[in-house]
Amino acid sequence: MSWRMFSYKSAVNNRKKTKTREWFDAIIFAVLAATLIRVFFIEAYTIPSGSMEKSLLIGDFLFVSKVNYGARIPMTPVAFPFAHHTMPITGTKAYWDGVEWKYRRLPGLSEIKRNDVVVFNLPVGDTVALENQEPSYYNLVRQFGWKSVNSQYTVTSRPVDKRENIIKRCIGISGDVVSMKNGILSVNGKVEPLKNTGQMPYKIQLKIADINFEVFKELGFTVNEMEQVDPFTYVANATSEMIDKLKTFDFIKSVALNVKPETVNDADLFPLDSNRKWNVDNFGPIKIPAAGWTVQLDSNTMPLYYRAIRTYEGNKVEKRGNAWYINDKPVNTYTFKMNYYWMMGDNRHNSIDSRYWGFVPEDHVVGKALLIWMSWDKEGSFFHKIRWNRLLKGIN
């Protein structure tokens, strides 16, 4: 064997990857591929609360499409793969906010439509008290005061794409006017009844006190959550379809929506304006901002649009005497740069949504919920924990 042949074989052997190097390269490739799929195409999501029942249940595992509305280019690009905002073990930040890109979105298949089920970043999640489960830092401050909250908890800020992910139904799109009266929603003056998959509280009056509650269970009621008012009266969450079936039974005397009267004021509702006596069942009308829409700025409109103009669109806003200044210039109108949406949960009396924190800006939108690929009930044996009738179920 010549020295040239020996040198060639030695070079080939030296370039051959070790098993460790092969595994390392494979893992890097898998992480990059999975990250690209998660960021630009589809992402898994889990339902953590009952705010969308009975459309979506606690324990539903979803696929959320980034393609439908157009994938959002990462605004905080330096981040740990597969972690959202917090590292799972250390509890530290899973991203570095030293590099932040402005909001951009790739072309999508469609715009957000009314009644789409949408995943988005919590608008009031820009500031959080880490040790508290309350989703809104601002609610904590209103309840306990700024000094108490900031001394008791670790308070931090989060960029848009690292705010908490939540899921709701889009009730109104940009330019719509939404309102609710006696628990019935209207969009642009047209009544929009709650779909059969959504829940409202009903007052149920019985003709007899002694009944078999298995009937309620078979209809889909959560019997142990039914509130007894007196021997003949119960308050229970139900869909309109469940109520229609219940009314056919002889032992039912009457069934009616159990909503708050207009005279009751919920002080913690958007826009936190003492001049508006609104509650979860009676509010509005509210016009949802649209890109290019110009609003007149006055004492009536500013409570509604102040946060959108200042926080979401990044302007300096202040009042000097009776005049409003934006970026140190006196103004009496403002033209919006982004589209906004009104999101609400299907479980209307068990949902913290736009009624509490207002509009959802377009740069907060993550994607469209498409499919339930797995559903897991915490009750029962292993086999019965799987909700077989929900597997591979489309979301509408």
The torsion angles phi and psi of 6, rounded to 5 degrees, stand at: -65, -40
Please state, in angstroms and rounded to a whole number, the distance separating the CA atoms of residues 227 and 282. 23
Is 217 part of any domain?
A: yes
- In this prediction, residues 222-239 reach a mean pLDDT of 93
Strongest mean pLDDT among 74-88, 195-209, 212-226, 338-352 = 338-352
Q: Is the pLDDT of residue 109 over 90?
A: yes
Q: Which residue has the tokens 């989060």?
A: 158
Percent over 70 (pLDDT), the chain: 95
8-state DSSP, 164: P
Q: Which residue has the tokens 């007894």?
A: 228
Is 323 part of any domain?
A: no
- In this prediction, residues 364-372 reach a mean pLDDT of 97
Q: Given this model, what pLDDT does residue 292 score?
A: 98
Q: Given this model, what pLDDT does residue 7 score?
A: 52
pLDDT band of residue 364 (cuts 50, 70, 90) is: very high
217's CB contacts (< 8 A; 6+ apart) are: 223
Write out the residue range of the structural domain in which residue 24 sits. Answer: 3-32
Residue type present at position 42: I
The torsion angles phi and psi of 207, rounded to 5 degrees, stand at: -85, -30
Q: Given this model, what pLDDT does residue 309 score?
A: 98
Alpha helices in 260-324 (DSSP H): 302-307
Residue type present at position 357: W
Is 244 part of any domain?
A: yes
Question: Tell me, what CATH number does 223's domain have?
Answer: 3.30.70.100
The verdict on pTM exceeding 0.85 is yes
Residue type present at position 251: F
How high does pLDDT run on average in the chain? 91
Q: Given this model, what pLDDT does residue 241 score?
A: 92
Is 229 part of any domain?
A: yes
Distance of CA 388 to the CA centre of its chain: 26
- What is the maximal distance between C-alpha atoms in the chain? 105
Is 193 part of any domain?
A: no
Q: Given this model, what pLDDT does residue 14 score?
A: 54
Q: What pLDDT digit, counting tens, does each position of 54-89 carry?
A: 899 999 999 999 999 999 999 999 999 888 999 988
Is 12 part of any domain?
A: yes
Q: What pLDDT digit, counting tens, does each position of 124-171 carry?
A: 999 999 888 777 888 888 888 888 889 899 899 999 999 999 999 999
| Count of CA atoms in the C-beta half-sphere (13 A) of 384 | 3
Is 15 part of any domain?
A: yes
Burial 192-212 (b: 16+ CB within 10 A, else e): bebeebbbbbbbbebeeeeee
Q: Is the pLDDT of residue 12 over 80?
A: no
pLDDT band of residue 382 (cuts 50, 70, 90) is: low
Counted domains in the chain? 2
Is 253 part of any domain?
A: yes
Q: Given this model, what pLDDT does residue 304 score?
A: 97
- In this prediction, residues 246-257 reach a mean pLDDT of 94
The answer to whether 103 and 365 are in contact (CB under 8 A) is: no
